[in-house]
Amino acid sequence: MTAYLAHPLLVFLSVWGVTVTLYLAGVSAGTFPAPQALLGGVLLLNVVAFCLGYLTWSLFQALTPQRNEPPSIPARPLALRRMRQALAFTLLMGVAALALELYRVALLAAHFQIDWLYLVTHPSLYRLRLVLFIGSDVFQASSVVMLLSLTSALFSLGLVLLGASLYLDPTRWKYVYLAAFLLVSLVIGVLHLSRYEVTTNILYVVLAYCFLHARDYAADARDRRSLLAENARAGPARPARAFSTPYIKLLIPVATVALLFLIVELLLHKSAAYDPDNRLQGFFFHLYWYLASPLAALNEFLATFTGDHSLGRNTFFPFYKWLCRFHLATEVEVSIYGEKLFLPYLANTYTYLRTFYEDFGLCGVALGPYLFGTILAALRRYAGRSFAGLNLFLVLLVAILLSFYNFFLTSNQVYLQILFGFLFFRFEMKTTDELPQRA
């Protein structure tokens, strides 16, 4: 199971297989209009391009002579002491991000001249004002927004490290950090009344654990095959290492996401927007809508697109914002929460394919997934020995997991997370057998 979750090609095919199936079920039931031929061509091109990118690199790698051991990384080993120090620092950054979020609530109340207590006790009004406040500030370089991006990026790095700690750390300290990180994540999610950022952070924890578990399992199997070939006549091979997967470690973070979904539902009553026969039916249809409606929205976008391509403005949006701030590019009106459609219910996400198509047409639809597949295939081996590589690999893997929903790489925070990984977290990842206590 862990090997499946850590394999980019299997994850990509599963995500798109499930979402296309749900979308077609909605078309069959009359929930969505019939898809046009261009949508089918775009989806097929997306799948073929990603598979070609992934398999091309894998083929080149297979043709290159490889050592049995992964390459050594010129970096400090990730000892338990260093891991705990880094976890403590990134947790502190999460607390700082939470404090900044609370300060932004005060700024929000002052901006709209609303009593802050009234604002936080009326979730629908609070959510509406928050969306307007963030949207109006998208091209501004305010100190609060910049500090939030910095602290949130470091906190997300800590969640990748937390996933590694859950697998590598044999002591109970990992559960202390797990509880603290999940509590901070949950409170931030409630303050946002949004599940997206918390879901991505929990994915970092789960996927980091799964990747390292799959890495060690594959290395053990490879070593046993090698010993069996060398010592076939010398006696029985050594027994396999016990690779139990304590799924309770992974269920706790997943339960946190489920709890956040429940809290947001209780506060905003999102299921009521779908005219359900009862609350439970509405909640499950709400989840179905999140999975299937992006393809229906993409179908509508393709049918109405005028052909005026943005030439990278959406794909490289964080860089475009900085160009605008230095007056090197012209600002255009951008909705960071997506254009709203009613199909017949509200939909404002269009999969990551809209970003590529709106910027570069069919060339973007072919090149974007191809590059994702190629880079992920190239990073798999490197990610097993380098924490910075693991962080980059997981960012792109999460982008693939959420590709059915939107384009993940549109925030400064994501790029800062990658940058900080290479600047400040250049650790060599050891297996559980090699992990030093001190360094």
pLDDT tens readout for residues 280-296: 888 888 889 999 999 99
The amino acid at 50: F
109 plus 209 within the same structural domain: yes
Residue where one domain finishes, among candidates 238, 268, 298: 268
Residues 5, 50: one domain? Answer: yes
Q: What is the pLDDT of residues 393-412, one digit of tens each?
A: 999 999 999 999 999 998 88
Q: How many domains does the chain have?
A: 2
Residues 59 and 88 in one domain: no
27 token code pair: 């078309």
79, two tokens: 């000892």
Question: Beta strands 346-347 and 341-342: pairing type?
Answer: antiparallel
Is the pLDDT reported for residue 432 higher than 70?
no
Q: Taking residues 359-370, what's their average pLDDT?
A: 95
Task: Mention every residue, 6+ apart, whose C-beta is less than 8 A from residue 226.
Answer: 68
Q: Are residues 255 and 297 in the same domain?
A: no
Mean pLDDT over 63-69 rounds to: 59
Which residue(s) pair with 386 in the sheet? 428
pLDDT in tens, 166-191: 988 888 888 999 999 999 999 999 88
- Diameter over CA atoms, the chain: 83
Q: Which residues pair with 346 in a beta bridge?
A: 342
Give residue 351's identity as a one-letter amino acid code: T
Distances (CA, A) of 395 to 60, 262, 398, 415, 417: 24, 26, 5, 9, 9
**Could you tell me if 303 and 263 lie in one domain?**
no
* Interval 60-83 mean pLDDT: 69
Task: Report how many helices (DSSP H) and strands (DSSP E) the chain contains, helices first.
Answer: 15, 4
In a domain, 191, yes or no: yes
User: 347: domain range?
Assistant: 1-65+285-428
Quote the CA–CA distance of 353 and 345 in Å, as a whole number: 21
Residue 71 has pLDDT above 70, yes or no: no
What is the number of residues in the chain? 439
Contacts (Cβ under 8 Å, ≥6 apart) of 301: 350, 354, 357, 358
Residues 39 and 115 in one domain: no
Strand (E) or helix (H) holding 417: helix 412-424
Residues 282 and 263: their CA atoms lie apart, in Å, by 15
Distance, CA of 274 to CA of 296 (rounded, Å): 16
What pLDDT sits at residue 248?
72
55 and 170 part of one domain: no
Are 36 and 119 contained in the same domain?
Answer: no
pTM of the complete model beyond 0.75 = yes
pLDDT in tens, 179-224: 999 999 999 998 888 888 899 999 999 999 999 988 887 766 655 5
